[in-house]
Every structure is written in structure tokens, then in C-alpha cells.
Copies of this chain bind each other. A is one copy, B any other.
Amino acid sequence: MTDHPLPPTTDPLAPTADPLTPTLDSLPPAATPRVSRRTLATTVTERIREGVHRGNFPPGHQFNEVELAAHLGVSRGPVRESLQLLVHEGLLERRPHRGVFVPFLTETDIVDIFYARLALETAAFKRVITSPRPPGLIETLDATVDAIAQAAAQDDWEAVGDLDLRFHTSVIEAAGSPRLSRMYSSLISETRLCLNIMADTHPARGDLLHEHRELTQLIAGDDVGAAIKTLTQHFDEATVTLRRRLRETQEQPPPPQLPYS
């Protein structure tokens, strides 16, 4: 089933070098006695989600439960829970009695994802602009835009993508609605999936920087209509770009499947 067409380079499920999140590899000894509010399934979920976000698993890839469990050093129970969560989140796709797969995103999906994001962000924009803004929001957005400029100057398009998503997430969070945030995080997850489907290098649009600066100014202002109009255009252009990117990508054969460790 899983032949190894590529030399095993890196572990697609390797956690980020974040000392705060205990690695699963160091689990067999009681490595997580700290605030045991963390459950195995939680950690596994983050590992898998991270891996998918990084694009380590191509569209159509099937997650084998026993394989995953063995690789992560846990049993199938937590793995199943994690997969179910990610499915419900929309990041993965389940076919009953068949398995869990990385979905093939279509142009329709891309349009829908950005349509749904626009729906939520429009509401957030409206509330953030008309209500007293949470302190520090504008500064946070400005800082993010600066970071985008810096990353773009270094041709680090992966960072640009992350910062782009962070910008929009900040606005959503500023709306102060737990449910809006919850729903948006799912959409962000799917957006990352979108970005990964594209070519390995994502030469982002050049005007992306300018657009975010403009959005920040509009959020700092009080013209809701103008802000939403610009936001809509911003999403329209992103959608167009992604659709073209997807079409270009699909014209080339899909990359071979990445094996575990």
C-alpha cells in the first residue's frame, strides 16, 4: 500500500519546535504530568492538523488508523477521536467504512470557503468599526502588516500566507464572539488546505501588502460601507488568484505520496 517512492526526508507529523507543546515521542515516560487538562487525543489532533496544514499529505491521501497510531505511539482510540474532530472541522473527509482522506479541493470549494469567510468577516468588520474597538487592535494589525512586508521582502511566501491569515483572524477575534471565532477557525483550516494545494512556492500577489494596509486604515476609521466594499474586493481578488493557481497546478501531475518518517 504505502511504498516509498521518496527517500524519507522529514516526519510529516513532526511537531513544531515549540517547547510549550510536549511532543508525543516523549510520551511513554510520564512526560505530561503538568496541568493534565491535555488529553492524548488533543495532542494527536494538533499533530495531524499541523501536518495537513503544512501540506505534508497530498489530496486523496488516506489516513490509516493503525499506521498513524503506531507512528505516534498511541492506540487507535485517540487517533480515531482526532480524525473525527478534523473531519467535523472540515479539514478532512470521511467515507463511511472506507476511511479518512485529504479532500480534493475544487474551484467550487475555494469559492465557497471565501464566500463563507466573507460572511463572517463582514459581520466582524461591522461590529469592530461601529463598536468601541478592543485596545491594541490597530497596533496588532499594523504590526502584522509590517511583518508581511518583511516576509515578502525575503520572499518567504509561506510566512506571508500565515501572516495574512493571522491578520484576518485578529479582526474576527476583535469582534469578541466565541461562535464567530469557532466557525472562522474551521474556515482558516480549510484555507490553509487551499494554499497547500497550490504550487510549493506561493508567489503571493504584490498588492496583498497594500490591501492589508488599506483594510487596517478602514478598520481604524468609521466608514463601514467603504470597509466592507474593500474587504469584498480583497476576497474577490484572492479567490480569482487561487482559482487560477489551482487550475495551473492541476494541469501538472500530482506529486507522489509522501511516506511516513
CB within 8 Å for A116 and B37 given contacts A81-B81, A88-B88, A122-B123: no
Q: CA A177 – CA B212 in complex, angstroms?
A: 26
**A residues within 8 Å of B by Cβ?**
36-39, 80-81, 84-85, 88-90, 96-97, 112-113, 115-116, 118-120, 122-124, 127, 177-180, 182-183, 186-187, 190
Point out the residues of chain B lying under 8 angstroms from A119, CB to CB. Answer: 119-120, 122-124, 180
State whether A112 touches B178 (Cβ < 8 A): yes
State whether B183 touches A116 (Cβ < 8 A): yes
CB within 8 Å for A180 and B115 given contacts A37-B96, A96-B37, A123-B122: yes
Which of A115, A116, A118, A120 has the largest count of B CB atoms less than 10 A from its CB?
A116
Q: CA A112 – CA B182 in complex, angstroms?
A: 12
State whether B179 touches A90 (Cβ < 8 A): yes
State whether A182 touches B90 (Cβ < 8 A): yes
